[in-house]
Amino acid sequence: MVEAPSEPLRRGGAPYLSHVVGDAFRELTERKLLELVKSEPVPHHLAIIMDGNRRYAGAKGLGVTEGHAAGRDTLERLLDWCLELGIRVLTVYAFSTENMSRSSEEVEGLMDLFDHALRDIAVDERVHRHQIRVRIIGNRELLPARIREAVDIAEHATEMYSAYRYNVALAYGGRDEILQAIRALAREVQEGTLQPDQIDSEAVSRRLYTADLPDPDLVFRTSGEERISNFLLWQSAYSELYFSDVMWPGLNRTEFLRAIWAYQQRKRRYGN
Protein backbone atom coordinates (compact mmCIF):
# COMPACT_ATOMS: atom_id res chain seq x y z
CA MET A 1 0.00 0.00 0.00
CA VAL A 2 1.35 3.46 -0.90
CA GLU A 3 1.68 5.66 2.16
CA ALA A 4 -0.13 8.98 1.79
CA PRO A 5 2.18 11.98 2.31
CA SER A 6 0.13 14.11 4.68
CA GLU A 7 1.77 17.54 5.06
CA PRO A 8 2.04 18.57 1.36
CA LEU A 9 -1.58 17.59 0.85
CA ARG A 10 -2.68 20.10 3.45
CA ARG A 11 -1.24 22.95 1.47
CA GLY A 12 -2.74 22.94 -1.97
CA GLY A 13 -5.17 21.79 -4.61
CA ALA A 14 -4.73 19.59 -7.65
CA PRO A 15 -1.87 21.48 -9.40
CA TYR A 16 0.20 21.50 -6.20
CA LEU A 17 -0.65 17.92 -5.41
CA SER A 18 0.22 16.61 -8.85
CA HIS A 19 3.60 18.37 -8.66
CA VAL A 20 4.55 17.27 -5.15
CA VAL A 21 2.99 13.82 -4.84
CA GLY A 22 2.26 12.93 -8.45
CA ASP A 23 4.13 9.62 -8.26
CA ALA A 24 2.18 8.53 -5.19
CA PHE A 25 -1.07 9.38 -6.90
CA ARG A 26 -0.12 7.50 -10.04
CA GLU A 27 0.69 4.39 -7.98
CA LEU A 28 -2.67 4.48 -6.22
CA THR A 29 -5.16 2.39 -8.11
CA GLU A 30 -8.76 3.50 -8.07
CA ARG A 31 -9.62 0.56 -5.83
CA LYS A 32 -6.91 1.43 -3.30
CA LEU A 33 -7.87 5.10 -3.38
CA LEU A 34 -11.48 4.13 -2.68
CA GLU A 35 -10.33 2.10 0.33
CA LEU A 36 -8.38 5.08 1.66
CA VAL A 37 -11.28 7.47 1.20
CA LYS A 38 -13.79 5.11 2.84
CA SER A 39 -11.52 4.75 5.88
CA GLU A 40 -11.88 8.46 6.76
CA PRO A 41 -14.86 10.81 7.29
CA VAL A 42 -16.10 12.24 3.99
CA PRO A 43 -17.42 15.81 3.53
CA HIS A 44 -20.98 16.13 4.75
CA HIS A 45 -21.67 18.89 2.21
CA LEU A 46 -19.81 18.92 -1.09
CA ALA A 47 -20.19 21.91 -3.42
CA ILE A 48 -18.99 21.67 -7.02
CA ILE A 49 -18.23 24.32 -9.63
CA MET A 50 -18.69 22.39 -12.86
CA ASP A 51 -16.37 24.30 -15.21
CA GLY A 52 -14.84 23.50 -18.58
CA ASN A 53 -17.70 22.25 -20.78
CA ARG A 54 -16.97 24.68 -23.63
CA ARG A 55 -13.21 24.13 -23.57
CA TYR A 56 -13.74 20.38 -23.47
CA ALA A 57 -16.01 20.65 -26.50
CA GLY A 58 -13.45 22.75 -28.37
CA ALA A 59 -10.66 20.29 -27.64
CA LYS A 60 -12.80 17.38 -28.84
CA GLY A 61 -14.09 19.16 -31.95
CA LEU A 62 -17.64 19.22 -30.58
CA GLY A 63 -20.30 21.91 -30.57
CA VAL A 64 -20.90 23.90 -27.39
CA THR A 65 -24.24 22.20 -26.76
CA GLU A 66 -22.54 18.80 -27.07
CA GLY A 67 -20.00 19.91 -24.48
CA HIS A 68 -22.78 20.83 -22.07
CA ALA A 69 -24.49 17.49 -22.75
CA ALA A 70 -21.24 15.70 -21.89
CA GLY A 71 -21.14 17.73 -18.67
CA ARG A 72 -24.67 16.59 -17.86
CA ASP A 73 -23.55 12.96 -18.23
CA THR A 74 -20.68 13.59 -15.80
CA LEU A 75 -23.14 15.00 -13.29
CA GLU A 76 -25.19 11.81 -13.55
CA ARG A 77 -22.10 9.79 -12.67
CA LEU A 78 -21.15 12.19 -9.87
CA LEU A 79 -24.43 11.56 -8.11
CA ASP A 80 -23.62 7.83 -8.03
CA TRP A 81 -20.11 8.53 -6.67
CA CYS A 82 -21.51 10.70 -3.88
CA LEU A 83 -24.06 8.05 -2.95
CA GLU A 84 -21.31 5.43 -2.91
CA LEU A 85 -19.33 7.47 -0.35
CA GLY A 86 -22.32 8.60 1.69
CA ILE A 87 -21.93 12.31 0.98
CA ARG A 88 -25.25 13.60 2.29
CA VAL A 89 -25.46 17.06 0.73
CA LEU A 90 -24.39 17.90 -2.83
CA THR A 91 -24.70 21.38 -4.32
CA VAL A 92 -23.70 21.96 -7.95
CA TYR A 93 -23.23 25.26 -9.77
CA ALA A 94 -25.10 24.70 -13.03
CA PHE A 95 -25.96 28.18 -14.35
CA SER A 96 -24.94 31.56 -12.95
CA THR A 97 -26.63 34.93 -13.30
CA GLU A 98 -23.64 35.95 -15.43
CA ASN A 99 -24.27 33.01 -17.79
CA MET A 100 -27.47 34.78 -18.87
CA SER A 101 -25.32 37.05 -21.05
CA ARG A 102 -24.07 34.18 -23.24
CA SER A 103 -25.38 33.74 -26.78
CA SER A 104 -29.09 33.04 -27.08
CA GLU A 105 -28.31 29.77 -28.86
CA GLU A 106 -26.12 28.53 -26.01
CA VAL A 107 -28.55 29.65 -23.30
CA GLU A 108 -31.48 28.01 -25.08
CA GLY A 109 -29.51 24.79 -25.43
CA LEU A 110 -28.76 24.83 -21.70
CA MET A 111 -32.41 25.46 -20.89
CA ASP A 112 -33.36 22.40 -22.93
CA LEU A 113 -30.90 20.32 -20.92
CA PHE A 114 -32.20 21.68 -17.60
CA ASP A 115 -35.81 21.11 -18.66
CA HIS A 116 -35.23 17.44 -19.50
CA ALA A 117 -32.91 16.80 -16.55
CA LEU A 118 -35.32 18.22 -13.97
CA ARG A 119 -38.28 16.27 -15.34
CA ASP A 120 -36.18 13.10 -15.50
CA ILE A 121 -34.92 13.44 -11.94
CA ALA A 122 -38.50 13.56 -10.67
CA VAL A 123 -38.90 9.94 -11.79
CA ASP A 124 -35.28 8.81 -11.30
CA GLU A 125 -35.24 5.44 -9.50
CA ARG A 126 -32.07 6.38 -7.60
CA VAL A 127 -33.64 9.52 -6.22
CA HIS A 128 -36.61 7.68 -4.75
CA ARG A 129 -34.63 4.64 -3.60
CA HIS A 130 -32.12 6.78 -1.70
CA GLN A 131 -34.72 9.38 -0.65
CA ILE A 132 -32.94 12.37 -2.15
CA ARG A 133 -34.59 15.74 -1.78
CA VAL A 134 -33.97 17.90 -4.86
CA ARG A 135 -34.03 21.67 -4.65
CA ILE A 136 -33.15 24.50 -7.00
CA ILE A 137 -31.42 27.56 -5.55
CA GLY A 138 -31.19 30.87 -7.37
CA ASN A 139 -33.34 33.66 -8.76
CA ARG A 140 -36.16 31.69 -10.34
CA GLU A 141 -37.74 34.80 -11.82
CA LEU A 142 -34.87 34.88 -14.32
CA LEU A 143 -35.73 31.41 -15.61
CA PRO A 144 -38.19 30.71 -18.45
CA ALA A 145 -41.66 29.51 -17.47
CA ARG A 146 -41.00 25.96 -18.70
CA ILE A 147 -37.95 25.67 -16.45
CA ARG A 148 -39.87 27.00 -13.45
CA GLU A 149 -42.49 24.35 -14.16
CA ALA A 150 -39.82 21.63 -14.34
CA VAL A 151 -38.35 22.92 -11.07
CA ASP A 152 -41.74 22.60 -9.39
CA ILE A 153 -42.12 19.04 -10.69
CA ALA A 154 -38.70 17.93 -9.40
CA GLU A 155 -39.10 19.61 -6.03
CA HIS A 156 -42.65 18.41 -5.46
CA ALA A 157 -41.73 14.81 -6.33
CA THR A 158 -38.98 14.75 -3.67
CA GLU A 159 -40.13 17.19 -1.01
CA MET A 160 -40.89 14.40 1.50
CA TYR A 161 -37.31 13.06 1.48
CA SER A 162 -34.48 13.96 3.85
CA ALA A 163 -31.82 11.22 3.68
CA TYR A 164 -29.83 13.10 1.03
CA ARG A 165 -29.99 16.64 -0.33
CA TYR A 166 -29.24 17.52 -3.96
CA ASN A 167 -29.19 21.24 -4.73
CA VAL A 168 -28.81 22.68 -8.21
CA ALA A 169 -27.82 26.36 -8.48
CA LEU A 170 -29.68 27.86 -11.46
CA ALA A 171 -29.68 31.58 -12.24
CA TYR A 172 -27.59 31.81 -9.10
CA GLY A 173 -25.23 34.55 -7.97
CA GLY A 174 -23.61 34.71 -4.53
CA ARG A 175 -23.64 38.51 -4.31
CA ASP A 176 -27.26 38.63 -5.43
CA GLU A 177 -28.16 36.08 -2.76
CA ILE A 178 -26.50 38.19 -0.04
CA LEU A 179 -28.19 41.35 -1.32
CA GLN A 180 -31.58 39.66 -1.15
CA ALA A 181 -30.87 38.65 2.45
CA ILE A 182 -29.86 42.22 3.31
CA ARG A 183 -33.05 43.57 1.74
CA ALA A 184 -35.15 41.08 3.73
CA LEU A 185 -33.45 42.17 6.96
CA ALA A 186 -33.94 45.85 6.07
CA ARG A 187 -37.65 45.30 5.48
CA GLU A 188 -38.02 43.59 8.84
CA VAL A 189 -36.22 46.44 10.59
CA GLN A 190 -38.44 48.94 8.77
CA GLU A 191 -41.55 47.01 9.82
CA GLY A 192 -40.37 46.93 13.42
CA THR A 193 -40.21 43.14 13.64
CA LEU A 194 -36.42 43.11 13.95
CA GLN A 195 -33.99 45.35 15.82
CA PRO A 196 -30.68 46.29 14.13
CA ASP A 197 -28.67 44.85 17.02
CA GLN A 198 -30.39 41.50 16.44
CA ILE A 199 -28.71 41.18 13.05
CA ASP A 200 -25.81 38.74 13.27
CA SER A 201 -24.28 36.10 11.00
CA GLU A 202 -26.99 33.62 11.91
CA ALA A 203 -29.68 36.14 10.97
CA VAL A 204 -28.11 36.52 7.54
CA SER A 205 -27.67 32.75 7.07
CA ARG A 206 -31.35 32.15 7.84
CA ARG A 207 -32.32 34.38 4.92
CA LEU A 208 -30.17 32.70 2.29
CA TYR A 209 -31.31 30.05 -0.20
CA THR A 210 -29.38 27.51 1.87
CA ALA A 211 -30.96 28.46 5.22
CA ASP A 212 -31.69 24.84 6.19
CA LEU A 213 -28.38 23.42 4.98
CA PRO A 214 -24.94 23.17 6.61
CA ASP A 215 -22.19 25.21 5.00
CA PRO A 216 -20.10 23.27 2.47
CA ASP A 217 -17.13 21.40 3.86
CA LEU A 218 -15.43 21.22 0.46
CA VAL A 219 -15.76 23.39 -2.65
CA PHE A 220 -14.36 21.52 -5.65
CA ARG A 221 -13.77 23.23 -9.01
CA THR A 222 -12.70 21.65 -12.27
CA SER A 223 -10.94 23.12 -15.36
CA GLY A 224 -7.81 24.52 -13.69
CA GLU A 225 -9.33 27.86 -12.71
CA GLU A 226 -8.61 28.76 -9.08
CA ARG A 227 -11.49 30.99 -8.01
CA ILE A 228 -15.03 30.49 -6.72
CA SER A 229 -16.77 32.77 -9.25
CA ASN A 230 -19.61 34.17 -7.14
CA PHE A 231 -20.62 30.75 -5.80
CA LEU A 232 -21.78 30.37 -2.18
CA LEU A 233 -19.77 33.40 -1.12
CA TRP A 234 -21.23 33.61 2.39
CA GLN A 235 -21.47 29.87 2.95
CA SER A 236 -17.91 28.99 1.88
CA ALA A 237 -16.11 31.32 4.31
CA TYR A 238 -14.42 28.35 6.01
CA SER A 239 -14.78 25.70 3.33
CA GLU A 240 -11.79 23.77 2.08
CA LEU A 241 -11.04 24.40 -1.60
CA TYR A 242 -9.79 21.92 -4.19
CA PHE A 243 -8.97 22.78 -7.80
CA SER A 244 -8.53 20.18 -10.52
CA ASP A 245 -7.03 20.69 -13.98
CA VAL A 246 -9.56 18.26 -15.46
CA MET A 247 -12.37 19.75 -17.54
CA TRP A 248 -15.77 18.95 -16.04
CA PRO A 249 -16.95 16.51 -18.75
CA GLY A 250 -13.63 14.66 -18.41
CA LEU A 251 -13.89 14.17 -14.65
CA ASN A 252 -13.62 10.50 -13.73
CA ARG A 253 -14.11 8.59 -10.50
CA THR A 254 -10.39 8.48 -9.74
CA GLU A 255 -9.98 12.27 -9.93
CA PHE A 256 -13.10 12.69 -7.81
CA LEU A 257 -11.67 10.35 -5.17
CA ARG A 258 -8.40 12.29 -5.22
CA ALA A 259 -10.28 15.46 -4.34
CA ILE A 260 -12.03 13.77 -1.42
CA TRP A 261 -8.81 12.15 -0.25
CA ALA A 262 -6.96 15.49 -0.36
CA TYR A 263 -9.74 17.04 1.73
CA GLN A 264 -9.41 14.24 4.28
CA GLN A 265 -5.70 15.03 4.80
CA ARG A 266 -6.39 18.61 5.84
CA LYS A 267 -6.84 19.90 9.37
CA ARG A 268 -9.74 22.33 9.40
CA ARG A 269 -9.09 25.35 11.61
CA TYR A 270 -12.14 27.60 11.01
CA GLY A 271 -9.97 30.69 11.38
CA ASN A 272 -8.38 29.57 14.67
Given a contact cutoff of 8 angstroms between Cβ atoms, the answer to whether 49 and 247 are in contact is no
Distance CA 138, CA 132 (A): 19
From the list 23, 51, 139, 272, the catalytic residue is 51
> Is residue 51 among the annotated active site residues?
yes
From the list 23, 99, 112, 120, the catalytic residue is 99
Distance CA 36, CA 258 (A): 10
Distance CA 212, CA 206 (A): 7
Q: Classify 240 as helix, strand or coil.
A: strand
Q: Positive or negative, the Cα torsion across 101, 105, 109, 112?
A: positive
Amino acid symbol at 183: R
Given a contact cutoff of 8 angstroms between Cβ atoms, the answer to whether 166 and 90 are in contact is yes
> Is residue 230 among the annotated active site residues?
no
Catalytic residues: 51, 99
